[in-house]
Amino acid sequence: MTRRSIALAAGVLLCAGAPAWAQTPLADWTAWLANDLRVATGVTYLTANNWDAKIDVYVPRSGGPHPTVLQFHGGGWVGGSRESVLLRALPLLEMGFAVVNVSYRLGRISPAPAAVEDCLCALRWVIRNAGEYNFDVSRIVTTGYSAGGHLALTTAMIPASAGLDRQCPGTEPLRVAAVVNWYGITDVADLIEGANQRAYAVEWLGSRPDRAEIARRVSPLTYVRRDLPPILTIQGDTDPTVPYAHATRLHAALQQAGATSELHTVPKGLHGNFPRAEQLRAVEAMRAFLTKHGIAPRHP
């Protein structure tokens, strides 16, 4: 997308009474994107299966080091693209975050757990390149939507002992300061058979005899423990694509383990595409969450 098309599409977000990020005139968006951000697109962070996994990087030109958000797109691990969620980064950029927008291997390139492995490698790339891009590695946030929400969770929750970072071995601790999970899958096994079976999950796991074990290895619920970063989950309670129980079960398990968890429920909300007022409330819940935990930019 060009800067002009980004700015024009941002008009969808404008509404009366909205916060500053949603009231910015379109001309200001264009000037801001052109002048205030360092942009690097199509950067390869990993090559696997003869496929280059790429990221786009957006970093404020002034100040820093900058708290940084890794953003993961949805699509059931079998579709979607990083370009499709670029506009969702606008509130984060307006707050003063750097944003790294991530592509990963989809199911047609490599089935589970490839996407999970790639996103861990994207985190390692951010840590290794912090000096060049002025990232603050003590304030890294993962966020994503649907399958991307799942990947935001796994990137933050999976320990080194799980061995899922072997595509990009290294000694750097893969630490995240917070997670914002937008209606992400938390129990993959729940979606590959039974009442909650979903075609996208079946396609991603395939028909391998060990698919139940792989589903367990890539499920956030497997890794619930006390020493996790704060997690905010945002989901509609009538979501037809990812059962709302995925949000409530994760929230309850985290609380029981003594971890920090917040759940923002969108009443009668579906799978994203929330009504404008509810979307703004959700974004403000994200802003408040990141501010409360000292992760938001100190001088946005």
Contacts of 213 (CB under 8 A, 6+ apart): none
Going from the N-terminus, what domains does the chain have, and what CATH number goes with each? 1-35 (no CATH), 38-187+218-292 (3.40.50.1820)
pLDDT over 90 for what percent of the chain? Answer: 85
Per residue in 88-120, pLDDT (tens digit) is 999 999 899 999 999 999 999 999 999 999 999
Per residue in 67-92, pLDDT (tens digit) is 999 999 999 999 999 999 999 999 99
Task: Please give the C-alpha separations between residue 267 and each of 59, 122, 196, 263, 288, in angstroms, as whole numbers.
Answer: 34, 34, 21, 12, 19
Averaged pLDDT, 138-156 = 98
pLDDT of residue 4: 39
Q: Assess whether pLDDT exceeds 70 at residue 208.
A: yes
Query: 75 near 67, Cβ under 8 Å?
Result: no
Q: Assess whether pLDDT exceeds 50 at residue 2.
A: no
